[in-house]
Amino acid sequence: MIPHASPTRFPRWLLMALAMLAALPSMAKIQFDVFPGHDAVARAGGWFPVMVEVFNDGPGFDAVVEIGQAQIGGTPQRMAVELPSNTRKRLLFNCFSSSHGNLAIDARLLDKAGKVRAENLGQRLAQVQWENFIMGAAPQSYAGMPSFPEIDGRATDFQPRVTRLSIGQGLETFPDNPITLESLNAIYLNSSRAIELKEPQADALLAWVHAGGHLVVAVDQPGDVSATPWLRDVLPVTVQGSANAAVGAAVAAWLNQPDSRPGSGTLSFALQPPPKGQQGSPAAELSPFATLKLDLAIKSSAQVPVAGFAPRQGQPLVSVESKPVLVSGPKGRGLVTAIAFNPEREPFKSWKDKGWFWAKVAGIPDTLLRKTDVHVWGGRAIDAVFGAMIETRQVRKLPVGVLLLLLLVYLLVIGPIDRWWLKKINRPMLTWVTFPAYVLLFSVLIYYIGFRLRAGNSEWTELHVVDIYPRSGDALLRGRTFASVYSPANNTYPVAIKADAAHFRTEFLGVAGNAAMGNRTRVRVDPKGFDADLDVPVWTSMLAVGDWVASAQPPVEARLDGPTLVLANRRDAPLTNIVVVHDQKALTIPSLPGGETLRIDLATSNPQDVSIPLADLTRDWSATFNTVANARGDVFGGQGQEHIDNWPGASVAASLTQRVSGNDDGQRHFVWPPGFDLSPMAVRGDILVMAFARNDSVLPGVNRFAAFQQSRHTLYRLVLNRARKTRP
């Protein structure tokens, strides 16, 4: 008789282990890669991109990608994304480098329940100094990547850098966001790569040029230009066929000339580094190009294909047999330089001095190319000036003298006075009662004083600085929104900006500091802007900044009709305190009502207008800016000097930051965001128009909460290129 077989029983722990092993493959099927910075490079005090690539080969789920900076002060950002099975997603974040030093990115992939599904921590970036020069490059081939000369005796963070921008090569790192590009001073683009740019990338590149970037284009084939309408329109030349020519000798001769170069005089651009702040580099010192000993191999008669250039605007810099081969001309606030030959081919490819060629073409200042060590310090952010304008007046700081007097009285009461009167009444043991009573009394007194100094109503103030870049049919608006919230209680305040691109940061304290309360802010980003929650402690005023780009009808229009400036206000609100900068003079116009047009003859003086030398305007504000920046950092009060009441005048002066700052050799008084300063435009002879509008803005209210007191104001800024004849 065969015995009955009982079913096999597995232990419960074994079943649980098998279930966990079965779940492991699904969790391991997530690829989470992070690519921070411009080729792992970031500028101190500027925006930089963080590209995140997620590949999910397991079950689909709703995810959240969180990006944070490992150092103190970074503001974490979150973006929601759907991850179906077998999908790859690429997400672009914009992060702000709030200090100089170690910079690292922490990235996490969370599911809907907040569980970490993947993480990539400690992705380090090479951070360069605020004054340094960075050029992004999209060459035809990897071997054709431009390079700059290595400057002896300089630290790595002060060496000019070239970073790669990949186009159509697997993982594309060429951003489609103009704000992301603003930390780059120049971009080199081979025409063979230009035709591969997608429309959003091309639009971002053009917006970056209008904002003040320097675009260098090498024409490989004339057909590349004719097949790319946006490239054909932006170049300062028309391209007509090609022929072989020997250009080496002409290029070598140009390199030894200290003048006639991008980045100087009429070829200045807004995103170029400031010329000051370089210790040991006096202006009278010879240009490094004038003393450059060149490799004579480039002067050979080697023939290279050269595109035929017919200049439309700008200035020919190098010519061969009266035919220009290097032409540079202004475009918006930026600069476009066209090269008629491909410098990635021989004989330039193997030329020993090609680094100096790229340095001069890109427009690197002489101060960054001299063989001297650089030591700079300081650098308060221009955010302090706008904070002095818009932060609440409800907060009053206790003067240090009163604080010391209060402390002295407290020490006298708990010490000699208490002992004297207890001894007089012959009750010394009562000190066990009187001492706690004194502490309680003074605690209540201090709270009452603080309440009287700081208690008030909720307050929200916005000040927008809006740059207008005219286009056919509409305009591109590049805005910087400075906003201040005052909280009478511990509270969280929601804010948002919805535009073509918008990014949030907290107050920038300067390259030696960190962002204020960055870790107390929660930011949610999406393709059309951001939402943020500002966690503001009681009786505290917090400054936040939004950077944004939007397409819209121009709120203010300006054009030149001969010597006459025609200014039109397209808004209902009047424009006040209009300042026109031309020929190193500042012309002030009282107002322009909404919907009206004004004609200003720049060749003659108008009795009701006030014109002063530009140097006087900037000099008068220099001391004020330094005073308020110091007073705002004073914990015990600035004796009433921590505020600026003349908002229109201060906003105009802050727009010429380089002139107002007066940076001495080796010391930064102020630093500013790339492209904010309009001083280079005044240097090259453009006309600047700045107009203040009270209680008006092109954006809806940034605050998503009701404030007891609130206001919003705008400074509009336009730049008009003066027509210049090309030189043969």
Q: Interior CA angle at 502 toward 188 and 648, to 5°?
A: 95
Would you say 591 and 578 are in contact if contact means Cβ atoms under 8 Å apart?
A: yes
Placement of tokens 């904070």 in the chain: 387
Burial class (CB in 10 A: 0-12, 13-18, 19+), 301: exposed
pTM recorded for the entire structure? 0.87
Would you say 532 and 496 are in contact if contact means Cβ atoms under 8 Å apart?
A: yes
Q: How far is residue 327 from each of residues 65, 239, 695, measured CA to CA in Å?
A: 45, 12, 45
Nearest to 368 by CA among 266, 280, 269, 258: 280
Would you say 584 and 679 are in contact if contact means Cβ atoms under 8 Å apart?
A: no
d(CA 95, CA 100): 14
pLDDT at 256: 85
Q: Where are the domains of the chain?
A: 26-128, 129-375, 400-454, 458-720
d(CA 89, CA 82): 9
Could you list the mean pLDDT of each consecutive 10-residue stretch along the chain, which spans 728 residues? 48 60 56 91 91 90 88 77 91 84 87 91 88 93 91 83 82 85 96 91 94 96 93 94 90 85 90 65 66 75 88 90 93 95 89 91 90 73 92 70 76 80 79 82 76 72 95 90 90 93 89 58 89 86 92 93 92 93 90 93 68 84 87 62 88 91 70 92 92 93 89 95 53
Where does residue 470 fall: left (phi above 0), alpha (psi -120 to 50 degrees), or beta otherwise?
beta
Phi, psi of 358, deg, nearest 5: -65, -35
Task: Identify any residues that bridge with 307 across adjacent strands, giving them in sequence order.
Answer: 242
pLDDT at 257: 84
Q: Is 614 helix (H, G, I), strand (E, B) or coil?
A: helix
d(CA 588, CA 604): 14
Would you say 712 and 462 are in contact if contact means Cβ atoms under 8 Å apart?
A: yes
Residue 259 identity: D
d(CA 313, CA 78): 45
d(CA 101, CA 513): 10
pLDDT at 276: 56
Q: How far is residue 586 from each of residues 568, 577, 614, measured CA to CA in Å?
A: 19, 12, 5
d(CA 668, CA 378): 5
Task: Identify any residues that bridge with 42 across adjacent strands, giving them in sequence order.
Answer: 127
pLDDT at 668: 78
For domain 129-375, say whether CATH 3.30.450 is its number: no
The CATH number of the domain covering residues in 26-128: 2.60.40.10
Would you say 130 and 671 are in contact if contact means Cβ atoms under 8 Å apart?
A: yes
Would you say 307 and 191 are in contact if contact means Cβ atoms under 8 Å apart?
A: no
Burial class (CB in 10 A: 0-12, 13-18, 19+), 536: buried
d(CA 597, CA 349): 55
pLDDT at 313: 83
Which run of H or of E encompasses 327?
A: strand 323-331
d(CA 577, CA 648): 6
Sign of CA dihedral 668, 669, 671, 677: negative
Tokens of 176: 């489609």
Q: How far is residue 391 from each of residues 128, 360, 515, 564, 623, measured CA to CA in Å?
A: 32, 44, 17, 39, 20
Sign of CA dihedral 365, 367, 373, 374: negative
pLDDT at 728: 34
Would you say 319 and 325 are in contact if contact means Cβ atoms under 8 Å apart?
A: yes
Tokens of 236: 């300062």
Number of H helices, E strands in the chain: 16, 35
Phi, psi of 260, deg, nearest 5: 55, 65
d(CA 331, CA 344): 25
Q: Spell out the residues 6+ positions from residue 438 whose beta carbon is closer than 8 angstroms to its own.
A: 410, 413, 414, 418
Residue 488 identity: P
Task: Identify any residues that bridge with 54 across adjacent strands, giving them in sequence order.
Answer: 32, 89
pLDDT at 442: 80
Nearest to 192 by CA among 344, 319, 38: 344
Q: How far is residue 130 from each of residues 139, 313, 366, 672, measured CA to CA in Å?
A: 26, 32, 16, 9
Tokens of 340: 């008629």
